[in-house]
Copies of this chain bind each other. A is one copy, B any other.
Amino acid sequence: MTVGATQPVIRATLEDVARTAGVSLATVDRVVNRREGVHAKTVARVEAAVAKLGYRADVAAARLARGQTFRFAFVLPTGSNSFMTSLTEQVARTADWLAGQRGFIDILHVDVFDPDVLAAALENLSPAYQGVAVIALDHPRVRAAIDELVARGIAVVTLVSDAPSSSRVHYVGIDNPAAGRTAATLMGRFLAGREGTVAVIAGSLSLRDHTERQFGFHQILSSEHSNLSALPVIEGRDDSDRTRKLTGALLARHADLRGIYCCGAGNRGIADALEASGRAREVVWITHELTEYTRRFLVRGTLDAVINQDAGHEARSAARILLAHCSGEPISPDQERIRIDIFLRDNLP
């Protein structure tokens, strides 16, 4: 039995470092917090002592002493689909956690799908905020608004939907083209060589994440599954009534319809139409976001796979990144990477 490097049970404090370096506390403080006016030789002595004792600042004490509080705004869409509802809930939970960490989150509800409204909301944001998380739109005005916030010294992270060419410090969300490719591979493999057509239903082609997904989907479908041909993309506007009618029409018109990929919302409509047609089992349906509904359709067998992004993870990650950015701490990219989850009936959480 090998015992790993045994750490001291008693933490080394700044005083310990001062003592072993043979300098005063003030000097250690200057070195540790990278203040001016310390001789290079002394810096080295202190750093050696830090290394020797394995000194790590006690984050609790540091936070307390600094006494900073943080205020973040989360700009989320007004009353929307299940995913957004769940995201809002997770942000609220994150806010609760953050409140114990000297951080406060205000949730601002905005029509994020209208670039002008969104940009205006960002422009008029109170300067009291040190950070903003926003479900962005890749639109010039929104981009400009983000850039202006950043120029004003406010950290901006984009959430779920990115504005890549803006100066946001981080994008918290999945790689949407990759998500589309994942859906296509699943579709192609589940259909295993059968011939036919595949429908793609997006919310709106003016949403960057939806276009990226369908782009990735088409890319793989055309290059690797030539037995399947994709029908023109349909815009369902994330509305169940609309998707119900559209899906019904699709099923009626295309006897050879083998699969449906929905890269937006409106899943209840698709499920209704599929189940009404009696072809629910034979048509492979893949969609995004695990919700109360998609979970049910998955269990029932109407839905074959869900590509998901974890709203809880995204909310927490955005808060952690804003907090780290504002207090100059590093982040661990590994922990902040939002994965493209695949859920089948069998691995539901």
Chain A interface residues toward B at CB < 8 A: 1-11, 54, 56-61, 63-64, 69, 71, 78, 93, 95, 97, 99-102, 104-110, 117, 121, 128, 178-179, 181-182, 184-186, 189-194, 216, 220, 304, 312, 316, 332, 334-335, 337, 339-342, 344-347, 349
Task: Given the known inter-chain contacts A1-B108, A109-B2, please indicate yes or no for A346 contacting B181, CB distance below 8 A.
Answer: yes
The residue of chain B having its C-beta at the shortest distance from the C-beta of A335 within the complex is B312
Given the complex of chains A and B, what is the CA–CA distance between A233 and B201 in angstroms?
43
Whole-angstrom distance from the CB of A104 to the nearest CB of chain B?
4
> Could you say which residues of chain B place their CB within 8 Å of the CB of A107?
4-5
Given the complex of chains A and B, what is the CA–CA distance between A181 and B101 in angstroms?
41
Select the residue from A99, A178, A337, A345 with max chain B CB neighbours within 10 A. Answer: A99
Contact in complex: B4, A106 (CB < 8 Å): yes
Contact in complex: B101, A59 (CB < 8 Å): yes
Please report whether the interface of chain A is mostly helix, strand, loop or mixed according to DSSP: mixed
Contact in complex: A106, B71 (CB < 8 Å): no
> Could you say which residues of chain B place their CB within 8 Å of the CB of A178?
346-347
> Could you say which residues of chain B place their CB within 8 Å of the CB of A93?
332
Whole-angstrom distance from the CB of A116 to the nearest CB of chain B?
12
Whole-angstrom distance from the CB of A98 to the nearest CB of chain B?
10
| From B9, B71, B99, B186, contact of A71 by CB (8 A) | B9
Q: A58-B102, A189-B192, A189-B304 are in contact. List 4 more A-B contacts (CB 8 A).
A: A3-B108, A60-B60, A97-B332, A191-B192
> Could you say which residues of chain B place their CB within 8 Å of the CB of A10?
69
- A-B pairs with beta carbons under 8 Å apart, 25 shown: A1-B108, A1-B109, A2-B108, A3-B108, A4-B107, A7-B71, A7-B95, A7-B105, A9-B71, A9-B104, A9-B128, A59-B100, A59-B101, A64-B64, A189-B304, A191-B192, A192-B193, A220-B346, A316-B335, A337-B349, A339-B341, A339-B347, A341-B341, A342-B342, A342-B344
Given the complex of chains A and B, what is the CA–CA distance between A95 and B56 in angstroms?
12
Whole-angstrom distance from the CB of A314 to the nearest CB of chain B?
12
Given the complex of chains A and B, what is the CA–CA distance between A182 and B347 in angstroms?
6
The residue of chain B having its C-beta at the shortest distance from the C-beta of A95 within the complex is B7
Select the residue from A107, A108, A346 with max chain B CB neighbours within 10 A. Answer: A346
Contact in complex: A102, B316 (CB < 8 Å): no
> Could you say which residues of chain B place their CB within 8 Å of the CB of A64?
58, 60-61, 64
Contact in complex: B101, A60 (CB < 8 Å): yes
> Could you say which residues of chain B place their CB within 8 Å of the CB of A316?
335
Contact in complex: B121, A1 (CB < 8 Å): yes
> Could you say which residues of chain B place their CB within 8 Å of the CB of A347?
178-179, 181-182, 339-340, 342
Select the residue from A71, A128, A349 with max chain B CB neighbours within 10 A. Answer: A349
